[in-house]
Amino acid sequence: MKKFMTAGGMKRRVLIVDDEMINRELLGAMLSQSYEISFAADGQEAMDALMQPDTDYSLILLDLMMPVMNGFEVIERCRADEALRQIPIIVMTSEKSAEVRSIRMGAADFITKPYDMPEVILARCERIIELSEGESIIRSTERDKVSGLYTRGYFFAYLKQMLPRLDTQADAIVMNIDRFHLINELFGREEGDRVLSYCGELISEMLSSTRGIACRSESDTFFIFCERQEDYEHTAEQMQEKLAEFARSRSLRLRAGVYSCEMGSDEPEAWFSRAKSACDRIRGQYGSLTTRYNNELYERTVFHERLIGDIQDAIDGRQFVVYYQPKYRIQGDRPVLSSAEALIRWIHPELGFISPGEFIPLFEQNGLIRRVDHYVWREAAAQIGRWRDRFGRIIPVSVNVSRVDIFDPELENKLCAILDEFKLSPDDMMLEITESAYADNGDRLIEVVNSLRNRGFKIEMDDFGSGYSSLNMLTEIPIDVLKLDMKFIRRMLIDDKSLRLVELVMDIAGYLEVPVVAEGVEEEKQLNTLRNMGCDLVQGYYFSPPLPAQRFEELIKKECEC
């Protein structure tokens, strides 16, 4: 009997609609052991029963020829109602023409009168209910519950079914919402889902004028496949305006990458990968809302794929080289070498020097930066140990902890294991965390920073002043050093506002009783201005560019001679 039960263990309910009492009783007797039975003597009674709240029907057995409202009218009304159209209908008739008409109107099956084979009727009811419930499961999984668009899996399944019948050129579009995380952070998940739902409506509205399908791929990213248009900018601008008004936030910004599909050349997943590359290219920009994938992007994508594929060889072959930029303490009679910052360089055996600005953001996006960071931590720790053994003094080195590392539950254990391996203390290796990491997940960052400081690590807040969260962040995160963003240093002697901002940071640091590191110092006048403000530490080309370990040793020797 289990197959006749709902998930909650109750019998499925069947509505028998027939104006002949004898027919109702016959069918009721056949089905009552397997199903919960309800009866209606005409179409109107049937509609009244179906509209009752909190009553779910798994099947309707419907006579066609009845007074008040006939069976055809019941089918028509059920098909017009969003909820009722999900209930399968088996019509009961002896007229062949009525069978054909009812099936065309949407009936699932028919039973021929008179009812002389109970086992056949029961089997048909069971089969139709199972088919209907299977379709219901598909309907519930093919649509994203938040946006109303297809889920990613069904999107690609339907897209591949469409392609053989496609008779026009088409585009793959990846659409994303910049700074969407602010909605969730400021107003909560419910408001974020409301915005995503509205985005689904905007995309559906866009597709109403052109053939296409769409899905929510993940979070705030949408995939669209549609007939090719010459320009999507105007459409994106209209959607952007509506979204900003709906979300009551001008900080939200749509951006879209477009790839012109080449039929038969690649799998559809590759089209959307390229469209995403184009979309990512305009992240944070305030010009056009859309951009097309082109040869330049193709070459860049191929280059990035090469870098991703070569990362393990680079680690194993020590192609990554750690450079050290000195930090000098400038308060006193003369500048004194105090510490260093570890900076990574990639010397590729075939591609040559690869800029950190090229591979670090790439590896941050896909999480591979963890491998690079761990490599740098070990290299820096080993070098601190070598300098200690050779010169009899510790030169503390600052290493980067990326926003990806913050989410590593083993972060603290990994750092402590490295220190133990090279017999160092937490004071010997300072940890730099960029301010932007706070904007990504402030609560997690606070938790990690507190835990690391409890273990004795010193925390440097890098690029301070580069993001919106600086002042708010300082009230919540305990830090040991502020590193002032170099763009302020570069402009402070030519821009009064930048000069005042530097002075303000010095005042804040004084209030918090933490030292300030000014990076990017290149001129003596900058150095003297910072010294007069009370700045503690300086790094930049005025003293030295980043150096490989052997050349850095020359600075240590020079310092030891003083």
pLDDT along the chain (562 residues), means of 10: 48 87 85 86 90 81 88 89 83 77 82 76 84 65 84 86 85 90 75 90 89 89 92 91 80 88 80 90 80 83 89 95 96 92 96 92 87 96 96 95 88 95 96 72 79 93 63 72 86 86 87 89 93 93 94 90 66
SS3 398: strand
State the Cα–Cα distance between residues 133 and 143, nearest whole angstrom.
16
The b/e string for 206-227 (b: 16+ C-beta within 10 A; e otherwise) is bbeeeebbbbbbeebbbbbbbe
Strands 36-40 and 59-63: unpaired
Q: The tokens 């419910």 sit on which residue?
A: 190
In this prediction, residue 541 carries a pLDDT of 94
Q: How many residues does the chain have?
A: 562
Q: What are the structural domains of the chain?
A: 2-142 (3.40.50.2300), 152-293 (3.30.70.270), 306-561 (3.20.20.450)
State the Cα–Cα distance between residues 78 and 76, nearest whole angstrom.
6
Backbone angles phi, psi at 550, to 5 degrees: -65, -40
